[in-house]
Amino acid sequence: MIRLGVVGVDEPHCRELSRRIRGATLVPIRQTSSASIDPFEVDAVVFLGSQLPAPTVIEHLIADGTHVLLGTEYIDPVEVLEAATKQATTGRAQLVVTNPDRMLPSRRLIFDEIATGKLGIPGLIRIHRWEPVDSARLIGPGQLPAALVRDLDLTLWLKGHRPNVVFAAGRIGGVATGDVLQVHLGFADGAMALIDYTNTLPAGDGYQSLSVISSSGAVYADDHSNRQLMFRGGTASAEATDEGLLPIVNLLQSFIDCVLTDDDPPPAVAWWRQVHELAVAVRQSLETARAVPLEGR
């Protein structure tokens, strides 16, 4: 049993998570400064949500032998991640960086179905992600919306390797006008991906859809299909049945298991460098209005 400090989740949610987790006691942590996290109180710390810890916080935690999970799109800059990974490798702590979207039950199912081979070779990955206006947050050297970076990671994860060409269109308007972006990827085996992202929806619900068209089958995960009707006069409204706490439960449990069994964490630096390069290529394509070739597999 380990003591797991959780940053970025409020206490009621933390209590709910505790009831679903094996092998750890959860300790909610409000502040992310190094001084506020007592290494004698926790064995490991997980950072969730959009507030990334400062590099020095990670450095201090790892130096104290505290395992760290970054449940975020941590790529800015990759060198910080590289240094922290080296520090963790030589020390006795684990550092894990995971895109939390990979832990959505729907995305795990899709990944697993592809991995079994029953769907054949993925030919087209299609993602729609629409967010409300207040969710704009640009990250990394590509200065792209954080959620789009997570979708780039998700696409690479599902396809298994990097593309050889990137084309992007749209606008990054920031808070004033919002971002409307379209990313088009081509892979050396002829496969392709289309990622549609915006944060211009009116305040309220967002929308996500992911489909993978493969050579002998297809998968479709779409918020459109997972809506329930509500009748309160006038036009009916559609309310989401989302995936609840399970994405975070999955994220925490896989990290706890990794710590308890002392398994090697999945390689983070090389992977995130790949995502970083892709994000830079997207930005370059947006600025030049040209397709950007990449060294693909």
Q: Does the protein bind another protein through residue 217 (CB under 8 A)?
A: yes
Q: Are 116 and 219 in contact (CB under 8 A)?
A: no
Q: Does the protein bind another protein through residue 297 (CB under 8 A)?
A: no
Q: Does the protein bind another protein through residue 121 (CB under 8 A)?
A: yes
How many of the chain's residues bind another protein (CB under 8 A)? 41
Binding mask 218-237 for another protein (x = CB under 8 A): x-x--xx-------------
Nearer to another protein, 51 or 215 (CB): 215
Q: How far is the CB of 174 from another protein (least distance, A)?
A: 16
Nearer to another protein, 172 or 252 (CB): 172
Binding positions for another protein, 152-211, rule CB under 8 A: 165, 167, 169-171, 180, 182, 184, 186, 190-194, 196, 198, 200-202, 207, 209, 211
Q: Which of 216, 230, 234, 261 binds another protein (CB under 8 A)?
A: 216
Q: How far is the CB of 292 from another protein (least distance, A)?
A: 10
First-to-last alpha carbon distance for the chain, in angstroms, is: 42
Q: Does the protein bind another protein through residue 289 (CB under 8 A)?
A: yes
Binding site for another protein (CB under 8 A): 121, 123-124, 126, 128, 130, 165, 167, 169-171, 180, 182, 184, 186, 190-194, 196, 198, 200-202, 207, 209, 211, 213-218, 220, 223-224, 289-291, 293
